[in-house]
Chains A and B, each alone.
Chain A
């Protein structure tokens, strides 16, 4: 989980060079879960 940095912004995985390097190789291995669009909360 994340923290708020000194600028008041939430730390993102994109702020981490290590995460940025890991994401492409992990993304290609993702098996997509089938979900119903009805799970989308209405505005």
Chain B
């Protein structure tokens, strides 16, 4: 489960040309991953309601990963679904997608957190969350799911250094 090394992907906003790829998206191995796959496949049509945004991970000109999320002004971010196509799993692509949502949420709503739910047996996603220092607890009335909460602080790379005296 330590993966096969980092895959250099570009994280970008969804474009219309990704529609066909997302509608045939294959990321599920287990039954508890099917909901995530179904949601990603419906992603392009869900964009129309304005309550969903999509980032994709691009590799070799193709969308190999996707994350559906929403940022509520004044509140924070929520990830609805995150998946990476089967041949590219365990290459840290999911981590990069989740980081991108964390950064976007922090830029739009400083100090906010990003919430999500994940099946307790979804080891790939649970590992991503652990690497991002997620606070994770079983949902009291849905014990097969974890509620996870993460937060980011942004590096101050935009600060101009002061002039020497």
Contacts and interface: CB of A to CB of B under 8 A. Distances in A.
A1 B55 CA distance: 16
A19 B139 contact: yes
6 contacts: A3-B35, A10-B52, A13-B147, A16-B142, A19-B139, A22-B147
Given A1-B35, A31-B151, 5 more contacts: A1-B81, A1-B122, A23-B115, A33-B102, A33-B152
Interface of A: 1-4, 8-10, 12-14, 16-19, 21-23, 26-27, 29-43
A26 B100 CA distance: 22
A6 B68 CA distance: 19
Given A1-B119, A19-B117, A19-B139, A40 B151 contact: no
Given A18-B142, A41-B12, A26 B147 contact: yes
**Interface size range on B against A:** 35 or more
A30 B151 CA distance: 6
A39 B157 CA distance: 12
A41 B55 contact: yes
A40 to B, nearest CB: 5
Contact of B149 (A2, A4, A21, A26): A26
B35 A26 contact: no
B120 interface: no
Contact of A9 (B11, B49, B140): B49
B80 interface: yes
B39 A2 contact: yes
B12 to A, nearest CB: 5
B135 A40 contact: no
Interface in B4-38: 11-13, 32-33, 35-36, 38
B155 interface: yes
